[in-house]
Structure 1
């Protein structure tokens, strides 16, 4: 997900996205532990997307002050 796409969403939508991504990341970690993970690069992508979302939410919070 690009930063432009993230900025177009509301905070509620972003919070839902974070929850979904964290759940997916948990499942990928579980797959990695059992040796069933095929695409380990997906974990890195999810972590970066979560960071992008949190960055945009932080920018919005600072702008609101």
Structure 2
């Protein structure tokens, strides 16, 4: 998701997105370690999405 769209979300929506992405990363890591993950790039994309959301949250907390 683009940072511009993330900045339009409410803090509660951002927090929900963080929880969801962390859960996805956890599941993808388990699949990767057991050899069930076919597309390893999905893990990288999910981690980067999580970093984007956390960056927007951090920007807001520093602005306050």
Q: Under a length normalisation based on structure 2, what TM-score does the superposition of the two structures give?
A: 0.91
- Spell out structure 1 runs of 4+ moving beyond 6 A: none
Deviation at 1:58, TM superposition (A): 1.1
Deviation at 1:13, TM superposition (A): 0.5
Gaps of 5+ in 1: none
Gaps of 5+ in 2: none
**Matched pairs, number:** 64
Q: Under a length normalisation based on structure 1, what TM-score does the superposition of the two structures give?
A: 0.90
**Cα RMSD (Å) of the superposition?**
0.9
- Where do 1:1-65 residues align within 5 Å? 1-64=1-64
